Amino acid sequence: MTAEAPTDLKGLAAELNAEFPALSPLERLKRLRETVPGRLVFTTSLGIEDQMITHLIFSNAIKIEVVTLDTGRLFPETYDLWRRTEEQYGKRIHAKYPNGEKLEELIEDQGIDGFYYAKEFRLACCGVRKIEPLGRALAGANGWVTGLRADQSANRSDMDFVGFDAVRGLVKANPLFDLTRAEIAAYTASESVPVNVLHDKGFLSIGCAPCTRALEPGEPERAGRWWWEDDTKRECGLHVPDATSVPKGARA
């Protein structure tokens, strides 16, 4: 938390949460920027929701940092989209990478693809490649913007437009929370927003290449993520509010 941050970020989050339903996504981003002092960080995975938010931020010169977590295992198509997005808007998407020493230790311990063999191995991999870099991305920020939507999964439907992340001590805003995928797809098409070509090949939720597959007809949107695990609330830990889910050193 920065020195200029208000003492009651939790109360501020509650106020914004009450305001957001009546606002458009652009108005939500502008209101967030007007209300929350200090650094605001948007973390993008370069999925279609995040591309819409990136477009709104870059096209309207909103002072929100756009950051991606490069795990080192992304699809080639994702890196191509990253390049095309920077070229189209003339803006930089900042990158955070895994700690090299921790990554070497992880692979030495569980092998290059150890995450397939046990859920704890997969969570450890997400911890090194995503959670710890996220902590560095959000260090010193007062606000965090994400592309979460209520209808993506049962786990996410229980979240708010804006909440207070008690683990990281900041306001967490989801400006597309009430939009459907169809609405977002229509917007990105109408505004010529670059999107990942994998979306047209059945990859609706795109993460690391070894951990993402195309969906079968009728499957829910996030069924292609960590598909070999049995439970229905599969998350990497970025958006799990329980403090125990954030590995040591990953907290902002």
Instruction: Write out the residue range of the structural domain in which residue 193 sits.
Output: 9-239
Residue 242 binned pLDDT confidence (cut-offs 50, 70, 90): very low
Give the CATH number, domain containing residue 169: 3.40.50.620
pLDDT digit string, tens, across residues 166-181: 999 999 999 999 999 9
Lowest average pLDDT, out of 1-15, 105-119, 155-169, 179-193, goes to 1-15
pLDDT given for residue 157 in this prediction: 56
> Mean pLDDT score of the chain, rounded to an integer?
89
pLDDT digit string, tens, across residues 117-149: 999 999 999 999 999 999 999 999 999 999 999
Quick check: is 184 in a domain?
yes
Quick check: is 65 in a domain?
yes
216 part of the active site: no
| Domain count within the chain | 1
Entry pTM:
0.88
pLDDT digit string, tens, across residues 21-44: 999 999 999 999 999 999 999 999
Quick check: is 246 in a domain?
no
Residue 213 binned pLDDT confidence (cut-offs 50, 70, 90): very high
Quick check: is 251 in a domain?
no
Select which of 29, 159, 236, 252 is catalytic: 236
Given a cut of 50, is residue 238 above it in pLDDT? Answer: yes
More confident residue, 160 or 152: 160
pLDDT digit string, tens, across residues 75-103: 999 999 999 999 999 999 999 999 999 99
Quick check: is 77 in a domain?
yes
Query: Binding site: what residues are annotated?
Result: 125-126, 208, 211
> Of 5, 2, 9, whose CA–CA distance to 162 is shortest?
9
* φ/ψ bin of 110: left (φ > 0), alpha (ψ from -120 to 50), beta (otherwise): alpha
Q: Residue 79 has which token pair?
A: 């890196």
pLDDT given for residue 3 in this prediction: 42
CA 178, CA 181: separation in Å to the nearest integer? 10
User: Which residues lie closer than 8 Å to 199 by C-beta, 6 or more apart?
Assistant: 48, 206
Quick check: is 249 in a domain?
no
Quick check: is 244 in a domain?
no
CA 9, CA 13: separation in Å to the nearest integer? 6
Quick check: is 110 in a domain?
yes
State which amino acid sits at residue 7.
T
Q: What percent of the chain has pLDDT over 90?
A: 82
Query: Binding site for [4Fe-4S] cluster: what residues are annotated?
Result: 125-126, 208, 211
